[in-house]
Amino acid sequence: MNERRLTLALMDPPYESANSTTALRIITAALEKGIDVNVFAYEGAVCLPLKDQTPHANPVKGTSVEEEEHPTTKAFVSSLLAIGKEKPLLTWVNCGLCVDERGATNVVDGVKRGSPADFFKMANESTNTLVIPTK
């Protein structure tokens, strides 16, 4: 087991708040340092890895999908799960009740389903836990 492990609780839905960007940056930096990371996605944050997200063109600016190069949070989560496949390990758990409420079941590979009990276990097993709440 890695000596250093960080748990994050995320609550913001994608494309709503700079909190999501900062959270993804924190996860990236931790993995780059070889630190294991647990993510417990709660409430709207369960939509961050939603597979149905689609990059779009911008008709106001007249740009195409390719020109717009719109980033999706599902792509970020997928990339992070690929980096954190083993050592360091990224464990991403979506709150099952939050998923059901939102119909957010179609998520990228590697995302697990769990409950707040998993968050409690993650927090107990981590060096530290950071809760990033909605404003």
Partner 1 sequence: MTRYVFIESRDPFDCGDSRFVEETAVAVKERGHDVTVFLVQNGVLAARRSARRLGRLAEAGVTVLADDFSLRERGIKTDELAPSIRESGIDALVEAIVQKNTKALWH
Q: Which of residues 25-64 bind partner 1 (CB under 8 A)?
A: 25-26, 29-30, 32-33, 35
Q: Which of residues 92-131 bind partner 1 (CB under 8 A)?
A: 127-131
Smaller CB separation from partner 1, 29 or 82 = 29
Determine the residue type at 119: F
Number of residues in contact with partner 1 under rule CB under 8 A = 20
Smaller CB separation from partner 1, 17 or 63 = 17
Indicate the DSSP class of residue 100: H
Q: Name beta bridge partners: 101.
A: none
How far apart, in Å, are the Cα atoms of 97 and each of 72, 104, 119, 135? 23, 10, 14, 21
Asked if residue 43 lies in contact with residue 11, where contact means CB atoms within 8 angstroms, the answer is yes
Whole-number Å distance between alpha carbons of 122 and 119: 5
Smaller CB separation from partner 1, 30 or 50 = 30
Smaller CB separation from partner 1, 57 or 89 = 89
Length of the chain: 135
Least separation in angstroms between residue 31's CB and partner 1 is 10
User: Where on the chain is the footprint of partner 1 (CB under 8 A)?
Assistant: 4, 6, 18-19, 22, 25-26, 29-30, 32-33, 35, 127-133, 135
